[in-house]
Amino acid sequence: MLFPQLVIINGWKNEVANVSVIRALKTLGEKYSGHLGKVWSVQINESDSTESLEIICNAWSSAISKGGATVPDLILDMTMADLGAEASSSFTAAMGVPTLSAQFGQEGDIRYWRDLDLDQKNYLIQVMPPNDLVPEAIRQLAIQMNITNAGILYDKKDFIMIHKYKSLLLNVPTRHVINDLQNTVDNVKEQLTKLRDLDVVNYFLLGDEDSINKLLNVGNSLSFTGRKYGWFILTLNEEMWPSCACENITILLLKPEMPTVSNENQAESVIRANLPKPLITSAFYYDLTLLGVSAMKSALDNGDWPLEPSHINCNSYDETNTPTRGLDFLAKLMAVSKNMTPTYASISWGKKNGEHHMDFKMIMYMINIEREKITMKEESGDWQAGIEMPLQVSPSA
């Protein structure tokens, strides 16, 4: 019985990934004994590059120190963005270790993976998480609704927008500002007022229930609620409906379609119940862990990956000695994913990094809140998540 050994790299703030990966490893241990060898877990501070690289390099040196069949076969990179994620991707590219990455970024955004050789392109694989795709719907809304100005606010807990500042509305004639949502009600009030002073009257928020309701309440208190104003809410929580002490406000809400439950067995519903919210994100990390381990097991079983791989460490790396691997890890991932039942949604495979992503749909609702109650809730279209995917608007909308 051959079992892959793996190193997991994650930012300590990415709690959803941490919990989901642990659950996935537990499932592998219980369900498929023999699917898993030793696991090394490396937690980094994603806002620090040098410290992150040092932590990763030290953990790696220790993991490969005994050599032979005891060394890692696979890295799962669950970092999101920022300097620590850069340290992680520069490490995986230099060491030449098969890696399944869930870093944020479209084509070319992962700096140290921009100029990979053909060998590396086959085994350094990134799949975009759902919270990296959802903001792309804003681009489609702006194009299809001819929105001329936009204040785009986002909740830092769930969304990262640094890499989208230039690209999100590139070549779209929408004057816009992108900022993270302030924490306190007073600061949000000031934030919205400043946007209004800039003649920005269309407000977008990427957030969770708390941040959404806070923003709507502030908008109501400032009377930014007439026909002149546009409110666009995008959330990862498929069960969320906005709630605010609003007199009269109309909102366009986009949220994920509920996962399809066909012939669901009890075990699957237990898994869903035990994963943290938002489910679409935790299910993504959970399934990605199962997929990475299963794909590497398939490579070991078929002799496509050696039982005793040779590795270098950070000290011996000289910019010319990255090992050649000859492993088509992408093909293994694609083959294994065909036979997996996803916890939430399957993966859509593209041709290269920046194109692979979770395959899900966002449903669009037109909502009216009057005197603190939802008086209208109308499905008005949907958006198949992806880069440059147009919105589908219902004929009646």
Average pLDDT for 201-222: 97
CATH fold of 6-128+261-358 reads Rossmann fold (3.40.50)
pLDDT of residue 316: 97
Query: Could you report the per-residue pLDDT of 82-91, keeping only the tens digit for each?
Result: 999 999 999 9
Domain borders along the chain are 6-128+261-358, 131-258+360-393
Q: Phi and psi of 372, rounded to 5°?
A: 75, 5
CB 261 within 8 A of CB 253: no
Q: From CA 378, how far away is CA 355, in angstroms rounded?
A: 32
Query: Could you report the per-residue pLDDT of 154-195, keeping only the tens digit for each?
Result: 999 999 999 999 899 999 999 999 999 999 999 999 999 999
Q: From CA 54, how far away is CA 314, in angstroms rounded?
A: 9
- Residue 36 exposure: Cα atoms within 13 Å on the Cβ side: 21
Amino acid at the residue 46 = E
CB 202 within 8 A of CB 150: yes
Q: From CA 397, how far away is CA 391, in angstroms rounded?
A: 12
Q: Look up the CATH superfamily of 131-258+360-393.
A: Response regulator (3.40.50.2300)
pLDDT of residue 285: 98
Listed residue (253, 260, 219, 252) closest to 237, CA to CA: 253
Q: Positive or negative CA dihedral for 49, 50, 54, 57?
A: positive
Could you tell me the two tokens for 33? 């004994």
Q: How is the beta sheet containing 230-234 ordered, strand by strand?
A: 175-180, 149-154, 202-206, 230-234, 248-256, 361-370, 373-384, 392-393
34 pLDDT band (50/70/90 cuts)? low
Residue percentage of the chain with pLDDT more than 70: 96
Average pLDDT for 227-231: 96
Query: Could you report the per-residue pLDDT of 345-394, keeping only the tens digit for each?
Result: 999 999 999 999 999 999 999 999 999 999 999 999 999 999 999 999 88
| pTM score, whole prediction | 0.95
Q: Positive or negative CA dihedral for 337, 40, 82, 195?
A: positive
Q: Which residues, at least 6 apart from 184, have a Cβ–Cβ distance to it below 8 Å?
A: none
Q: From CA 276, how far away is CA 297, in angstroms rounded?
A: 27
Query: Could you report the per-residue pLDDT of 308-330, keeping only the tens digit for each?
Result: 999 999 999 999 999 999 999 99
Cα torsion at 83, 389, 394, 377 (round to 10°)? -10
2 pLDDT band (50/70/90 cuts)? confident
CB 73 within 8 A of CB 309: yes
Q: Which residues pair with 11 in a beta bridge?
A: 44
Query: Could you report the per-residue pLDDT of 270-314, keeping only the tens digit for each?
Result: 788 889 999 999 999 999 999 999 999 999 999 999 999 999 999
Q: For the chain, what is the mean pLDDT?
A: 94
265 pLDDT band (50/70/90 cuts)? low
Query: Could you report the per-residue pLDDT of 90-109, keeping only the tens digit for each?
Result: 999 999 999 999 999 999 99
Do 6-128+261-358 and 131-258+360-393 show the same overall fold? yes
